[in-house]
């Protein structure tokens, strides 16, 4: 305990050279721009999140300078650990791939703050190659939702058509209102549009709607 008090009381600090700070910020900028480009042009999401991409490029700067500050003074280190421990983020990450990019940005800030530039470069290159390859892999079928409306109960004929033309299906809901029957069916099929004609040809089928909810 006395040794710890003496260590804290001495307030030992290491002065940060301006060249070290600039080099850390420079390499942080390079790796952040690289991740920015990967997210913008390689990881093609259905909806591009510009705000997230801006966060990806700015977050590493704060983290890298925090790491530098932690290395310079023990008191700052303990104070920062206590401050960060009470921070809570309530915003939910809806797309799992976005969490990957956020962790990538945190990683960039940490390794650049520790001046492990080679580690940051190799990791970024390897991660981008893995993301690029996985983005190019396409599945043979897509998950879609069928909404079918009919003037009578056509479930038996509907099931027969689905068994003959769909790889997997699951009738989620069946409802009856105003002399109309409504069915909601989850299906997996390579070409969802091919089943539309066969369903509309069913007797008493009034309307068929198709929505692709997942596509590789």
- Strand, helix or coil for residue 128: helix
Q: Could you count the other beta carbons within 10 Å of the beta carbon of residue 35?
A: 22
Domain 142-214: give its CATH superfamily.
ACT domain (3.30.70.260)
Give the per-residue pLDDT at 147: 86
Let me know: does 183 contact 138? Beta carbons within 8 Å: no
Give the per-residue pLDDT at 46: 58
- How far is residue 83 from each of residues 11, 86, 113, measured CA to CA in Å? 19, 6, 19
- How far is residue 27 from each of residues 21, 55, 215, measured CA to CA in Å? 10, 17, 36
Contacts made by residues 199-203, CB under 8 angstroms, sequence distance 24+: 199/146, 199/148, 199/158, 199/161, 202/150, 202/154, 202/157, 202/158, 202/161, 203/152, 203/154, 203/157
Q: Which one, of 143, 183, 137, 197, lies nearest residue 167 by Cα?
A: 143
Give the per-residue pLDDT at 133: 87
- Rounded average pLDDT per 10-residue block, the chain, 216 residues: 50 70 92 90 71 88 86 65 61 76 90 90 92 77 79 83 80 82 81 74 81 63
Give the per-residue pLDDT at 84: 61
- Strand, helix or coil for residue 17: coil
What is the domain partition of the chain in residue ranges?
2-136, 142-214
Q: Which two tokens stand for residue 209?
A: 């709607």
Give the per-residue pLDDT at 74: 62
């Amino acid at each position: 305990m006395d040794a710890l008090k003496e260590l804290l009381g001495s307030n030992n600090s290491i002065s940060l050279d301006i060249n070290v700070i600039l080099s850390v910020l420079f390499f942080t900028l390079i790796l952040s721009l690289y991740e920015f480009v990967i997210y913008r042009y390689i990881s093609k999401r259905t909806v591009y999140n510009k705000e997230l991409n801006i966060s990806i490029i700015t977050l590493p700067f704060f983290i890298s300078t925090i790491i530098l500050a932690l290395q310079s003074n023990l008191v700052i280190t303990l104070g920062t650990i206590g401050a960060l421990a009470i921070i809570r983020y309530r915003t939910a990450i809806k797309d799992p791939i976005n969490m990957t990019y956020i962790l990538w940005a945190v990683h960039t800030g940490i390794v650049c703050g520790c001046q492990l530039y080679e580690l940051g470069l190799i990791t970024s290159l390897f991660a981008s190659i893995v993301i690029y390859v996985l983005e190019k892999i396409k599945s043979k079928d897509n998950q879609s939702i069928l909404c079918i409306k009919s003037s009578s109960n056509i479930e038996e004929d509907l099931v027969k058509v689905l068994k003959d033309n769909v790889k997997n299906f699951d009738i989620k809901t069946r409802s009856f209102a105003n002399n109309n029957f409504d069915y909601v069916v989850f299906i997996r099929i390579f070409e969802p549009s091919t089943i539309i004609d066969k369903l509309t040809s069913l007797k008493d089928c009034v309307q068929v709607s198709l929505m692709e909810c997942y596509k590789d």
